[in-house]
Each structure stands twice: as structure tokens, then as C-alpha cells.
Chain A
Amino acid sequence: MEYSDEKIDKGLAARLTDVFTRAYRLFASTKTSVCILGLMAVCYLIGTVFPQGADLSEYVKEGGRLVFLVSLFDLLDFFSSPVFLFLAFLLFLNLVICTYDRYPAIFIKDDYPREFEPLHSIALTQDIKEAFVKVREAFVKELKFKPVLSDSLWTVVEKGLPYRPLTWLYHAGIIVCFLGFALTYLFAYEGTVTLSPKRLHTVVPDDTGRLKSLWKKKDDPTDFHLLLEDFGTEYIQSPDLNYPDDRAARLAIGLGWGSPAYELHEDSLFVKGWKARIKVVKGKETLYEKTAEVNSPLKYGGYAFHLAGWEDTVKVSVDGNPILLEAKAGDALFVPGLLDPVVFGDVKAGKVLRLDGSMAELEAFTTVKRKVKDREEYLGKVRIGESIDINGRRITLAGFETGSVLNYRYDPGAGVLWAGGLLALVTMALRFYIGWCMAAYNIVEKDGIVYLELFIAVKGLGFSPERVVKALEHRLTKDDIRPVLLPPFK
């Protein structure tokens, strides 16, 4: 037997087409998506079992014994590991092929069978012709169904939203979400910048996102500057609850022995929020300004700046010396002549909402501690202008300055994710909560009695076959074509 090159090529092409068709069919199948989703669920589970972000030595120190598996599958950073990314890609492929494959179906009219298996049967009294007219009227005029097939043995009517396009749309929305995740994965990066009052700051990223980091370690500094105009903290007076942890004591309170009690202490101050007035400046021009809050970041130039916290710098004078020493709250300050360093707490300043609903301005104060070896020893509280004596040195709080700590993030994926999520959610809600209802009916005569035979299918929660049947029966009884006494056929 002789084989020509052409024949072999054709054979190969046919085989490739065959493999491609099979792969396509495999990925267009819901069964495949069930399998891949199952594997994804197992992966998520693995991610909760192994401490994500820990390093191998920590894992071993904590008693982890699966070192070989952990390093082989990157289990401590599993959600960035090749195994996980590969599976996520398969799910994405599955979704894309499914959605592509079902695209034509959303425009095709349903091909209804000539006959349906009747699920309900209602006895009617009228002659068959009148029954046809009345039943049609009941469906179309009363129950607001739309006729979709009337030239067949069975008449088909529909109501609600077309479920196929909606199902298709929320799958498409999930695909858009996946694109958002991919953009985040490839391009997002983040960092921290601390703004001191009245000074210009440039964002100098020390990252550049996963993709760019292949050729460039850091992204360029921003061509705009940030300027902290004002910073304020708000407190609320919050009483503490005197309530037992012990279960029996809690039960006793529930049964009426004893009561919980709120108590207000001198320092029952709770941070209600903080605000930073920030300007975006280029040269002499102010490009944008905003009072950012904890849940309201400043967004500019593709970056979002989130208020992560604040940083107080206290200024103190020692023995009245006009040259002031500066220290960040929480850091050790070495005062000449003192053996142990001094540590100042956060400065409490700003507005306070009191328990009785009135607002007051806090007189700024901070706490002073001495650091003795690993221990901190509380020495007292000072307000602006007040002093505290430590081993013969007079330390006076001369002033303070509050800087705003901002977490910045560059993430081109988030917007795409919101768009996809919104599309998926809205269409899913319509599909599930409103849904679609189809009724097919036929009117037959058996043993001299006219029966309405009904088949009803619903998608989603908005329609119930029982309710449709009830409403129809009610209408037909009112129209005098359904006898109250005749037994139902089925």
C-alpha cells in the first residue's frame, strides 16, 4: 500500500480537527465545569489549611511536616502557584467556550414539541369552541401571558423574562470578572507613604506589579505631589461593659440574677474616625483636592490612597532649653542625662463626641513612659506646655505634629471586576427572582366532558405552577366555564 504525503497530511489534519472538536465539546460541557469547580473548591480548601504567606522555616517551626509537598506545590503561596493558576485558567477557558457555544442559542426561538405530557387537567363545561376562546382570554388578558405558538396541537404561552439571555449574561459577567482578576494579578502593586503636614511628597513606588517586574523592578515616581493640608481625629466617649465571661454567670444574668453595667472611665475614648485634607499638586497648580476618610480614599492618577493611620511626632524641651527634641510616638527618645529612654504615646487631640451627645475639643495630651530593659514604666500624662520630672530632668511637651499614613494601591483590575460583578449580579437577580414561566395547553373532549390539559414549566422563583393553575381555575370558574362540582380529571 502506498501513502502519499498529501494523504498523511489530510490524516493529520483530520485527527487534529477531531482532537480540537473533542476538546471543544469537552470544554463546552457543564459536566466539565462541575469537575473544574470541584477541583477549584479543593484548591481553596488547601489554601485555608496551609498558612498563606508564611515562609518554609516558619512552617517547619510551627510543626509542619509536609515539607516536600509544601515546596513542590508552593502550598504557602498556593494562590499564585502554577497549579492553581493553571486550574483557574481551565475554568476561564471552560466559561469562555461555554458562553461562546451558547451564544447562538439566545436568539433561537424555542422549538416546542407538538405534544406535551399534561401535568394538570381541569374539567370545563362549555362547548369546546367556547372553551378555546375563554381559556385563551384567561391566559392572555387576565394572566398576561404572551402567545408564542398557536398553530400546533398544543398552544404555548409565556410570561416573565427570557431566561436564556439572562443566564448567558451572568456567565459573561463572570468572564469580565476573570479579566479583572487577571489585570490585578499582572499589574497591581501597593505601598505606603507618610505625609507630613505642609510638605510636598512624591509617590516613589518600590514595586511595579508582576508583569512589569520581569523587566523593571520599580515603577516611576509620580509626576504629581501630595500635600497634607489638614489632619483631624475624632473620638467618641465609649463606656465599657462590665459583663462576665463565665458561662454560668451569663446564664444567671439571663435568668434575672444580676445585671450588666456600663461604666465610664476617664480614658474611655474610642477613635471614631480620622480625616485628611489632601491636595494633589503639580508645580504651582492644584490638580485635585479631597478630604479623605477611612472608607473614602483619595483617587488620582490610577492610584487610590487609603488612610491607614497617623503618625504623631512630639516636640519636647528639656529643662526649658529652646532647642526642641523630636520623637515619633512609640519610639524611644534618648534624653541627655537620662539613662533610660523615654517613650511618648499617641497624642490624643481633636474633637470628642460625648456620651450626652455634645461635642467638645480635646485638650491635646500624651502619655509618658520610661523604657527599662524590655519593660515600659508608666510615668504620667502631659498636656501642651505641661512638664514632667524624670530623675531631675524637666521634660516639657512643647508641641506635636501629625502626619497621615497612606496606603496606596495601583490596580487597573478593580474597575473591570466591578463592571463584571454588577452585570453578573443584576442579571442573576432578574433570572432568579423574576424568572420565566411557560404554559402549554390543549383542550380535549373525553366522555362528553371538555378538559383543559396543562403543562407548566418555570425558571426562577417569580412564578409557581400551583399559583398559575389556581389563578386560571379562579378565572374560569368566574367565567362560568369551569364547573365547581365536577371532579378534576387528574
Chain B
Amino acid sequence: MLNYEMILSRDSYLLAIELRLFWLASLIYGLALILYIFHIITRANVFGKAAATAMLVGVIAQAGLIVLRAFEAGRAPFQTLYESLSWFALCASVTYLYESRRWKNIYFPGVFVSALSMGACLYALFAGSPAIEPLSPALQSYWFEWHVILAFFSYAVFAVSASIEAAYLILSPFVKKGGATGYGVNTENIRDFHRSAFRLVLFGYPLLTFAIFSGAAWANNTWGRYWSWDPKETWSLITWTVFTIYLHSKTIPALKGWPASVFNIIGFICVMMAFPGVNWLASL
């Protein structure tokens, strides 16, 4: 049997490896961001391709990191601020790479996604604690686990949707003037951005709905109250409401164009408020 000293040094060693891997993943996302910026400046596909490859390497590093943490903690590693941000970065990058696989030589929206993934990683590393500690009794619940996993997954999907929507809003005027072809975008395929953003919201919306539902079920099971209007809950409800508006606007001919895009971007701002905006406000 291992003695205490051995256990402590083994755990410290594994954590040191994990932290280095996490920093490495952040740096790779940072590199991807720089390459995407070069692509935007030069319009050269070679930078776009390199950036997408860097993102893929970042994803592999991040996935390895999450597996390592699951092994270290002996539980699903999605519960603390540090862990959930890592999960967010992975989900956002994977969702973007998956969604953009159909596009030929289009890399523009990646600049936002790589910035978000890098930002999430740096926020986790600078503001979160990597300590693996036992969960408090209230947090030892499957409802809570699924709540966090799905909430962050949906936030990541919405973030990617907003990135693509932002690219659509930025590039549309240039496409109309015939100027954005350098980014592989033309009047035919720019509509695909809009459709992609919509499909991502369709994918993320039930996830957020289940996240809110499981959060309420968890609170009800633990404290007996399924809703208490605390700022985090309320912001997630605002986010959900804004995406409901977005989905409805897609069924109204007058709103399904740029107004829907604006609702989508507002939805993303709400995601940022639900997390990490609320934490930031609370610290003021």
C-alpha cells in the first residue's frame, strides 16, 4: 500500500503535468489565433489551414488534459470553475472544427473561436484553482454533474454560433460589393454561415433547456427549492429567453434575416454574462 508521502508526491506530480499541458493547450490556441489573424490580414489560405491544424492540436492536448484530470480526480472532471472552463474550450473548438469541416478554404470565423478557447483556458489558469478536492455533499449529485456538462456544452455551441454569425455580419457587406472572395466567401456560400449559425442554436437550445431543468432538479433535491432567482440562474434564464426569441424570429419572415443575427449575438452576450460575467459582477 502507498504511504501518504508517496500519494502526495504522486498527486502533486500529476497535477504539475496537467498544468503544463493546460498551458500548452492555451499557447496552441494562442498560436491558432495569431495564424487566423495573419489569414485575415493576408487573405492567404495557408495561414487559415495552419490555424485550423493548430486548433486541432489544441483540441487533442485539451482532450488529453481532461482525461488525465478524470484519472487524477477519480470522478467526471467538470465541476469546478477551472474544470468547466477547460470543458468549454474543448467543446467550442470541437464544435467549430466539426461545423467548418464542410467549408472549403473558409477560415474567417475561427479567429473568434480560437480567441474564446484561449481566453477560457487563460481564465481557468489565472483565476481558477486546480486543486483536486472532494466535492461538498451538495455537489455530489448526478443532476449537478449533467447540469454543468450540458450548460457549458450549450454555452460553447452558442459561442461558436455567434462567431459564425459575427463573421456573416462582418463579411456580408463586402460580399455584396464583391470584396470578400479572398476569404473563400461569395454570394452563394455566405448564406451557409447564417444556416450554420441557426443549426448550432438548434443543437444548443435543448442542451441549455436540459441544463436549466437539471439545475432546478438538483436544487430541488438538495435544498427543496427549484428556483431562487439568484443572478446565475436568472442570467441563464435570460440566455434561454433570448434564444427562444431567436428561434421564433426564424419563423417570422420579417425577422429571419439580420434581426435574427442580432438576437443570436445578444444571446452570446447573455452567455458571457451568465458566465463569467456574473462571477465578475459578484467580485466588484
Contact = CB atoms under 8 A, between A and B. Distances in A.
Nearest to B1: A356
Given A250-B126, A254-B22, A414 B226 contact: yes
A218 B136 CA distance: 34
A238 B133 contact: yes
Interface stretch (B8-16, B41-49, B86-94, B106-114): B8-16
Q: Which of A34, A38, A296 has the most CB of B within 10 A?
A: A34
B12 A272 contact: no
A305 B242 CA distance: 36
A378 interface: no
B64 interface: no
A116 to B, nearest CB: 18
Given A44-B234, A262-B11, A432-B203, A424 B245 contact: no
Contacts of A224: none
A295 B140 contact: yes
Interface stretch (A11-19, A335-343, A404-412): A404-412
A77 to B, nearest CB: 10
A275 to B, nearest CB: 10
Interface size of A as a range? 35 or more
A424 B22 contact: no
B interface majority secondary structure: helix
A190 B213 contact: no
Nearest to B254: A31
Interface stretch (B28-36, B159-167, B172-180, B215-223): B215-223
Interface in A66-117: 79
Contacts of B255: 34
Interface stretch (A55-63, A239-247, A320-328): A239-247
Interface size of B as a range? 35 or more
B8 A241 contact: no
16 contacts: A30-B252, A41-B245, A48-B238, A247-B126, A251-B23, A251-B125, A263-B8, A264-B4, A270-B134, A272-B137, A294-B137, A297-B224, A356-B4, A414-B220, A421-B213, A425-B209
Q: Pick the 6 closest A-B CB pairs, nearest first.
A: A254-B23, A241-B131, A409-B224, A294-B137, A273-B137, A259-B16
Interface of B: 1-4, 7-8, 11-13, 15-16, 19-20, 22-23, 125-126, 129-134, 136-138, 140-141, 199, 202-203, 205-206, 209-210, 213, 216-218, 220-226, 229, 231, 234-235, 237-238, 241-242, 244-245, 248-249, 251-252, 255, 278
Interface of A: 30-31, 33-34, 37-38, 40-41, 44-45, 47-48, 52, 79, 184, 190, 236, 238-241, 243, 247, 250-251, 253-256, 259-264, 270-274, 293-297, 304, 306, 308, 355-356, 407-409, 411, 414, 417-418, 421, 424-425, 428-429, 432-433, 460-461
